[in-house]
Each structure stands twice: as structure tokens, then as C-alpha cells.
Amino acid sequence: MFPYFLEVITIEEIKVLELFGGIGAIRKAFIRQKIPYRIVDYVEVDKNCVKSYNALYGAYFKPQDIVKYHSPDERIDFVMHGSPCQDFSRSGLKKGGEKGSGTRSSLLFETIRIIEEMKEKPKVVLWENVKGVLDKNMRASFFHYLKEMERLGYESKYKILNAMDFGIPQNRKRIFVVSILGQNDFDFETLKKAETRSIDDFLQKGVSDLYEVRQESMLRYLSGNPKNKNFKGRLKIIDKYAYTISTKQVRVPNSGLVDIGNGKYRYLTERECLRLMGFDDEDFDNIRAIYSKRPGKTSSILYKQAGNSIVVNVLEAILNEIYRR
């Protein structure tokens, strides 16, 4: 296995670089797994994500543009990058992420540049993205990334993982790539999985009618009106699990709707979305406190941050496999 990792676990902390850091799902996973770690740097251009990250972890980072960022002088053990997925997503414009194309998803190759700048390469690099990167017209970028990592001395393994297999009742499938410098003994098949919890554990009671669906085209669609042509999206009712949490829950409720009876439905709340991404209520309260509430309005900021994050429980399983004790 990894004698290097076993030694690190017992002697020193893992030095982590978070690229495209979002609200720090990987940091939450390190904390939950009680793996000694230290964040050497955190790179995120979205100022609201940075505010939320700082509120969650008592940090003082400022927004940083990945394109202008250069590797720290300090040795890094672990790099996490969840590069923008919009141009790979099946629900997006599918512009792709070829190196030099200028799309948001092509920013993943900035990670390659940053690793190249390092005096000593990190032992582990973890990348997460939508499963659409393996679609026929998108996979060239994906395999280009793997080739670049191989050029740098990494052996990579990848697999599509579903959050439902790690205790979270959200049908969210994402690809994870684990790259190890030198020989890669990581095994996705031995990840520690967990039975999917009841969706009732994640849904709130007595939710405000602010979250009730009132859009007529949606209601007609839900009623099964065959003549409804005004709503072009997809609507599903949450039963045993939610669907993929997206960034625009109210406008595009891909995660599904909650049936509240009498022909009425509601959207998931911001708190419920964070719960379904593996964060706890204390995390939500810490984030909620830094954004002023607008009367009669939901928080597009919190919905976006939840939708763009990574399910913490999946990351925990991956860390546990890498740094198993």
C-alpha cells in the first residue's frame, strides 16, 4: 500500500492546496476524518464563496484568480481541484474544455501549470467533475488531462460515484480522478460505503410558503396537463431521494420538488440543499449569518454554493482510502 502515507498520518500533517475551492468540501472531509492537515492556500475567484469559506473555517482568505495564481514555495502533499463544470455539463452549452479554448471548463489545465511550477510535486491530486466529461464530444479534454498528468509522473484512476452510495439521499453522479505520483495503489472498489439515509432526515418541517411552487406552467406540468407546452424543463417529485442539486434551485429545480399535499408542491430550502451536500446545520447557520435576508426572497447565493460544491461524504470515503489507518 502506501508506507509514505502511513508515516505522514502518524508524524506530520497533510499540506493541502485547494484550487477552485468553493466552500471547502475537501476541508470539511479532512476535519470529519480527523486526518491531520493544514491548508497552505485556497484559490477561489468567487467573492461570495470566499466569504462563506472564511465563515465556515475561521479563515481570512481573499479571492484569487486561478489564471494569475502561481504555486506556493512550500511543499504540497495534496491538491484538490473541482474545476468549473458548466461547459462539460449535459444541461449546459457543452462548449467543452479543450486546453486553450477559453471556456470556463478549460481552466482545469491551470492545475497542470501550477503543478509544473512546483519544486516538489504533490503526492496526490484529486479532481472532481460532472460525468459529462466522458461524453463522446467531451472526452478528448478528459483524456488530455490524464495524459498531462502522466507526463508529470502521475498514474490516474477514475470512477463515477453516486452520493447515494455514501449515505446521502441525492442521486448525484460525479466523476472522481485520483492521481498518485508514481505507482497508484488506490482502489475505488474498496471505498467505504454507507446505506442511503432516509430523505426525511434531510427535509425540514413547517417550511415557509415562500418555497411553494406558484409558477403556473410548472403546476400545469405537474398536474399532467397534456396541453402544457409552456414549461420545457423536467420536474420530478422527491420520494426516497432528491435528484442532483443544481445552482438555480427555484428557476430550474432539477433536484426535484416536495409534495406538500392538496395539489401543492415546494422547492427544497437552502438548508436542505446544504444538508444534501453533506454539510451540517451548524455549517449552514455560519454561512446564513453573513448574508442579509431579503424579505420574500430566497438566497440565490446559497443555492449556487450548494449546487457547485462536492458531496462531503464521498470525499471522506476517498480520503479514508488514501490515508487509511
pLDDT exceeds cutoff 90 at 294: no
Question: What are the CA-CA distances from residue 183 to residues 4, 81, 180, 243 (Å)?
Answer: 12, 21, 7, 36
CB 240 within 8 A of CB 232: no
CATH class of the region 199-308: alpha beta
pLDDT of 325 above 60: no
SS3 129: strand
pLDDT exceeds cutoff 70 at 189 = yes
pLDDT, greater one: 2 or 323: 323
CA distances from 174 to 77, 131, 158, 304 (A): 24, 5, 10, 17
111: Cα separation from own chain's centroid: 17
- The answer to whether 37 and 16 have CB atoms below 8 angstroms apart is yes
Say what the pLDDT of residue 59 is.
Answer: 97
**HEC-encoded secondary structure of 185-229:** CCCHHHCCCECCCCHHHCCCCCCCHHHECCCHHHHHHHCCCCCCC
Average pLDDT of span 288-298: 91
What is the CATH code for 3-196+311-322? 3.40.50.150
So where are the chain's domains?
3-196+311-322, 199-308
Which of 136, 194, 169, 131 has its CA nearest to residue 268?
Answer: 169
* Alpha-carbon separation of residue 123 from 178, 274, 289 (angstroms): 11, 30, 37
> According to DSSP H, which parts of the chain are helical?
3-11, 25-32, 47-57, 108-117, 139-151, 216-222, 270-275, 281-288, 300-308, 312-322
Of 2-6, 112-116, 297-301, 305-309, the least confident: 2-6
Whether residue 170 contacts residue 164, with contact meaning beta carbons closer than 8 Å, is answered with yes
Residue with cell 453522479: 173
- Residue 216 confidence (pLDDT): 87
* % pLDDT > 70, the chain: 86
Looking at the whole model, is its pTM more than 0.85? yes
Residue 265 forms beta bridges with which residues? 259
> Tens digit of pLDDT for each residue in 23-34?
999 999 999 999
Report the C-alpha gap between 300 and 284 in whole angstroms. 14
Q: What is the DSSP string of 211-276?
A: GB---HHHHHHHTT-TT--S--S---B-SSSB----S-TTTS-TT-BEEEETTEEEPPPHHHHHHT
Q: Please say if 85 is a catalytic residue.
A: yes
Distance of CA 221 to the CA centre of its chain: 30
Query: pLDDT tens-digit profile of 131-168?
Result: 988 887 778 888 999 999 999 999 999 999 999 999 99
Of the residues 23, 29, 85, 273, which is catalytic?
A: 85
pLDDT for res 196 = 98
Q: Among 86, 79, 130, which residue's Cα sits nearest to residue 107? A: 86
